[in-house]
Amino acid sequence: EAQVTQNPRYLITVTGKKLTVTCSQNMNHEYMSWYRQDPGLGLRQIYYSMNVEVTDKGDVPEGYKVSRKEKRNFPLILESPSPNQTSLYFCASSQTRNRDIQYFGAGTRLSVL
Amino acid sequence: AQSVTQLDSHVSVSEGTPVLLRCNYSSSYSPSLFWYVQHPNKGLQLLLKYTSAATLVKGINGFEAEFKKSETSFHLTKPSAHMSDAAEYFCVVSDPRDTGRRALTFGSGTRLQVQP
């Protein structure tokens, strides 16, 4: 089954404790992206990756890092989480030639205390 | 620059009655437009897309949307609501000329409630 898998689904942490949210897709997609969803704001792009070792900032990259060492994986790293990063996070992937149609993971709800 | 405005944050309908979710967009080019649906505790799923072909677009689960350039609108409709339609709906725009990032710009969402 074609899918985008995020882990963990729920995470509560404290300010300053480094964390990683993993994202994996099994569709051999070149393009992957991270979004955060906040009430009344829709989804905003954090980072994206056009292919292995090619990443770039989205609209709200501050406080986040990403890496793309393998095609299927695109982890999101919070080096020093802060309460304003409490949000619902989504990973998405798509084919390069059809980036409009993105496939989303089920989401990771993060609370930073 | 591109933007999307969803005119209603909440819409409540009775089962079996029509659904109308309103979306206006702003862009300096001919955009690609989409509707995505998010059911509780699930990821987003593509409902339908408009990419400059027919202005009336049919999607999954009986939904359709009409692109009206003169009104810069892309409203989502369904003739008869079902309980399973209760979800949050996002209107989305992207720039088809963008061969790089191709960012999706999301509206703020409309929560559809379906009453029995």
- Chain A, nearest residue to B111 by Cα: A40
Alpha-carbon gap: A91 to the closest alpha carbon of chain B (Å) = 9
- Chain B, nearest residue to A103 by Cα: B45
In this complex, which of A42, A101, A104 lies closest to B107 when CB atoms are compared?
A: A42
pLDDT in tens, A57-73: 999 999 999 999 999 99
Q: Two tokens at A51?
A: 């292919």
**Checking DSSP bridges between strand B10-14 and strand B110-115, what pairing results, if any?**
parallel
In this complex, which of A4, A56, A104 lies closest to B101 when CB atoms are compared?
A: A56
- Chain A, nearest residue to B94 by Cα: A100
Query: How would you class A106 by CB atoms within 10 Å of its CB: exposed for 0-12, middle for 13-18, buried for 19 or more?
Result: middle
Neighbours of A72 (CB within 10 A): 17
Identify the band that residue A101 occupies on the pLDDT scale cut at 50, 70 and 90: confident
3-state class (DSSP) for residue B62: helix
CB contact under 8 A, A42 and B90: yes
Chain B residues with CB-CB distance to A38 below 8 A:
none
User: Chain B contact for A45, CB < 8 A?
Assistant: yes
Give chain B's end-to-end CA distance (angstroms, integer): 41
CB contact under 8 A, B106 and A44: yes
What CA–CA distances, in Å, run from A12 to A85, A86, B33, B95?
Answer: 11, 9, 35, 36
Q: How far is Cα A44 from Cα A60, in angstroms, rounded to an integer?
A: 7
Contact in structure between B106 and B90 (CB atoms under 8 Å):
yes
* C-alpha torsion angle, residues B88, B89, B93, B98 (rounded to 10): 60
Q: What's the pLDDT score for residue A20?
A: 97
**A4-A6-A10 Cα angle (round to 5):** 145
Query: Which residues of chain B are modeled with pLDDT < 50?
Result: none
pLDDT in tens, A23-57: 999 999 999 999 999 988 888 999 999 999 999 99
Q: Two tokens at B2?
A: 């591109």
Q: What's the pLDDT score for residue A84?
A: 96
Q: What's the pLDDT score for residue A2?
A: 80
User: Chain A contact for B49, CB < 8 A?
Assistant: yes
Q: What's the pLDDT score for residue B96?
A: 74
User: Chain B contact for A100, CB < 8 A?
Assistant: yes
Q: What's the pLDDT score for residue B103?
A: 77
Q: What's the pLDDT score for residue A87?
A: 97
